Structure 1
Amino acid sequence: MEISINKNQVARICLILASVILLFFGILHLHGTFFSTDLYPSDLGLIEKLKTATIQMDESGIIWKLWIGFNAMFSVGLIFIGSVNLYLSTKHFEFIRGNNPILTLTICSNIFFVWIGNRYMISDFAISMAIPLIFFAIGYLIIQLKRLTT
């Protein structure tokens, strides 16, 4: 009995998994930004200082509001990247399979997320971004290898 593996299906599953993971972490981060204190400093006195401190560029730029805003924008970015790739992977796989720039930009974005996570953030974040990166890279490599062999 011979088991036949459809490489397109494996690539598609990898892209779907990676997209779902990004979407999940984007939603989780958005929840952490607006509906919990997970992203708050442990020093509660520091929060009060951040609510009155401003940036030098513009005194209307209050550090605490900027912190919330940057986290919200990051969340929406993850949700967007995950949603677009999920939609394309499930509904228009042939398009994404034949369109290298989309997957290349997605992989580059994930590489940047992992780098930022390692350099400036917590290790859990870097790991949570490395997992979809691996799945996107595997899917991309399968697509490229299949293209070379056909």
Structure 2
Amino acid sequence: MNKIARISILLASSTLLFFGLLHLHGTFFSTDLHPQSLDLTARLKSSHIQMDVSGNLWKLWIGFNAMFSAGLIFIGSINLYLSAKHFQILSDRPFIGLLTIATNVFFVWIGYQYMINAFVLSMSVPLLLFVIGFVLIPGKPRISNEK
């Protein structure tokens, strides 16, 4: 079970890392995340939020996408590193797995509520793999200090 758990977490982590890098590329090096309407892009570049006029909607759009990319890259990288080099840490500390799963559940929910179907699917795959991996990590017997 430990080997299957590790492989599942490695696959999930690699998937998140891949989508984070893909999203970063789409944010800065392509027009994939740009509106189809050039008029809308121009309006976003000239529209500001009420909180601060320096926050135009276009820069905020790019910034939020870049931060989301960084989050995916971080979660994927840290779990990839831990599952590849320090699997015992993941085995001994279920909080990391629970936080990873909770974050991925949030990604799927956000995708379902506000984004495109391809995003929901791309976040559901690593979520499923993380759940399988972290569930299959064998529990460590607890030693009682009571006498």
TM-score by length of 1: 0.92
Answering whether residue 141 of structure 2 is matched by residue 141 of structure 1, we say no
User: How far is 1:131 from its partner?
Assistant: 0.2
Contact 2:92–2:140 (CA<8 Å) still a contact in 1?
Answer: no
* 3-state SS of paired residue (1:51): helix
Contact 2:8–2:129 (CA<8 Å) still a contact in 1?
Answer: yes
Gaps (5+ residues) in structure 2?
143-147
Cα deviation per residue 1:49-83 (whole Å; 9 max; x = unaligned)?
00000001111100000000000000000000000
Cα deviation per residue 1:77-112 (whole Å; 9 max; x = unaligned)?
000000000000000001111111101000000000
Aligned partners of 2:38, 2:28: CA distance in 1, in Å?
Answer: 17
CA RMSD of aligned residues (A): 1.3
Gaps (5+ residues) in structure 1?
1-6
Answering whether residue 84 of structure 2 is matched by residue 90 of structure 1, we say yes
Aligned with 1:44 (options 38, 42, 52): 38
Please identify runs of 4+ aligned residues in structure 1 that moved more than 6 A.
none
Within a 5 Å distance, the mapping from 1:25-104 to structure 2 comes to 25-104=19-98
TM-score by length of 2: 0.94
- Give the fraction of aligned pairs with identical amino acids, expressed as a percent: 60
